Amino acid sequence: MDRNRLHNKVASMRRSLFDQGYLDDQFIQLEDLQDDTNPNFVQEVVTLFYNDSARLIQNIEQALNSRPIDFCKLDDYMHQFKGSSSSIGAKKVTNECTAFREYCNAENAEGCIRSFQQVKQEYAILKRKLEVYLQTVRQASQTA
């Protein structure tokens, strides 16, 4: 793919990520931080997020599987997870986290479990999309 097409592709992918609500303004903050001294900053942060949050996801799973459910701990984990995801601008994921916390506060186990499925789903979708997007970005920057 020639450079222009790649760049166009990047632009349109990016636009759609925002338009469809997967990413929000915070992601732009990350992009703004990227510069020549740190040309892969966005990629690094996203990678770090996914690696670190895997641990949190696991903790939440465990907490949801234990009986009785410790809602306090659950809320705690989710709070951390939400903080993390919001810091990279993962809008849909963050929204699902908020919904989850509501169920958690209500101590609604069923609701929590269902909601968490949503969280994981959005999390996975975004991960894929970002991977593709960032890969395209890399390609575009390489084809100078």
Residues that bind other proteins (CB under 8 A): 26, 29-30, 32-33, 38, 41, 44-45, 48-49, 52-53, 76, 79-80, 82-84, 86-89
Q: What backbone torsions phi and psi does residue 12 show, to the nearest 5 degrees?
A: -75, -35
Q: Looking at this protein, which amino acid is placed at residue 20?
A: Q
- Residue 139 buriedness (CB in 10 A; 0-12 / 13-18 / 19+): middle
Closest to other proteins by CB, 94 or 136: 94
**Nearest distance from C-beta of residue 60 to other proteins, angstroms:** 15
Closest to other proteins by CB, 30 or 126: 30
Six-digit token string for 85:
């995801």
**Nearest distance from C-beta of residue 71 to other proteins, angstroms:** 16
Closest to other proteins by CB, 38 or 58: 38
**Nearest distance from C-beta of residue 88 to other proteins, angstroms:** 6
Whole-angstrom distance, CA of residue 123 vs CA of residue 134? 16
Closest to other proteins by CB, 33 or 125: 33
**Nearest distance from C-beta of residue 84 to other proteins, angstroms:** 5
Residues 6 or more apart whose CB falls under 8 angstroms from that of 81 comprise: 53, 56, 57, 60, 97, 119
